[in-house]
Structure 1
Amino acid sequence: MSLITLTTDFGTKDHFVGAVKGAIYSELSDAKIVDITHEISPFNITETAYILKNSYKSFPEGTIHIIGVDSELSRDNKHIALELDNHFFVCPDNGLISMIASEIKPTKIVEINIHDRIESSFPVLDVFVQVACFIARGGNLTVIGKEIQEFKKLVEIQPKVNQAQNQIIGGVLYIDNYGNVITNISLKMFQDIGKGRRFKASARRYSFSKIFTKYNEVAGDSAHDSIQYDGSKLAIFNSAGFLEIAIYRSNLATVGGASTLLGLNYRDPITIEFYNDSKPDFTPLS
């Protein structure tokens, strides 16, 4: 049985997702299809990369991941298939792989070349499905494309380090279902650059001098009566290892989320400044 995941910005109102699944089952009747999400913001490559980077490892090795975001074929947006970390990805070469492959180098990458036989305005259905099913049957990547060594890099999703000013300059990468704001600053970078020093994290006119390890730590010793802390802002390194600005027990319908309450949006700058003195108002990560 082949395991194939789908990650798209198609939504669920239209026929697109159903058509893709139907095409897969027509090729592989015993396939197992898992929807990672179809609610990616339209054409949002960094959001796609963040979600996929933090979900693909939960699947068994050999899983095939079809990615349908900004997938229309063009001279600058080719289609690729690759093997990475014992998983297979079929996707556009629009830069999203550069985040997923930031720490692990692909074993093999090919530029898909079956377009000579297929002309389509819906490549996820007509091209990606065929490639995924070919891989699922044990096909070699080099049969469906020419091997290449490079893929498009997205420089904008990488935080910058200003050593002279003891700063990490990052930005908002993703806003989740709770309205929490996820940045591109990783715990590893924070620890490597900060080296245990005191710090201040700034987002617009808000600043944070403590980073929590759990959301309910904001309630401290009052965790048993934590309702009074609902709506408190906090910074935390989330389960994916990225700095997150959150509102404790946020509810978009009532309290609101960090994005709306703090006025933070995709690509807004987030900075962390480190200090060499011992100012008591800056608390290092515990």
Structure 2
Amino acid sequence: MSASRRVSLFRSAIMKRSLPVSDEQMFRSTRRVTVRTISTRTTIVSTTTRKKRKVEVTSETTTVNTEVGGSSTVSKASADALEALEKDTLHESWYKALAPEFSKPYFQELKKFIISEHKQYTIYPPYQDVYSWSRLTPLDTVKAVVIGQDPYHDVGQAHGLAFSVLPPTKIPPSLRNIYKQIKTDVPSFTIPTSGDLRPLAKQGVLWLNTCLTVRAHQANSHSGKGWETFTSSVLRAVTSRENGRGVVVFAWGIPAQKTCEKVAIDEERHLVLKSAHPSPLSAHRGFLGNGHFNKANDWLRKQYGDGEEIDWTVLNK
């Protein structure tokens, strides 16, 4: 299928799913909270990095936002758009590393499940953001991995990075505890008013959920469907790179630690930092006070050299 055809299918899918798209960022959706009908000019920019070309499609449309909990029917075009999701939205480096997964039976079944879910329910994050982590943190830039669980499941929260939310969404409790621990480790850090973690992603921090989609308002609704196998392959792609320097893996909570065990991370080569999850239910049982952000930077300086640590204060800028 040609790039222009895939873009056309994505446009159709997004219009039918009532997701207005801005041209600020590739496939970045503009979130709506109220139910209303508006007239908008929609521009979709698709970059197919492997062919190094850009295709632009512009059209006038009237969009009805179905908001929270609404269900809608996904057309054949929407299903085709989901089939093309990896080609169109994974960064080239990740697509190359993960391509063997796409033809495996588990991944084919996963895609069938996601298409079926989209026919009946609202799914987060939007199509275009499922793999946003790959575009913000290309494979060869990864220095640290933060393992999350599944995406936030309320309207306007999930955008493809574990723990992260975009303005004006309120900072979730787990992320607030992460900020508290960064502040403890890095006194110059000022707790931000935003939950946007993209600046850290651009420094090489991969914010990776083990499950990449979720049904609206139903936590863990897409667990056990195949995402965990896929994201284990993502983590394996990171830890098997032959750059000789290794990465830091933040494994907060039992599920994250089980993921590390499944991947069999070589702890002689990589630094795996384990503690309780930052959720308010467990943060005081070992997350707060774990010193992980200092430990990570000390290790990165040793492995990568001075000045190669993560600047956590970038969130203040």
Q: Does TM, scored on the shorter chain, surpass 0.5?
A: no
Bigger fraction of residues in strand: 1
TM-score (norm 2): 0.25
**Which protein is richer in helix relative to its size?**
2
Q: Highest Rg: 1 or 2? A: 1
Q: TM-score, normalised by structure 1?
A: 0.27
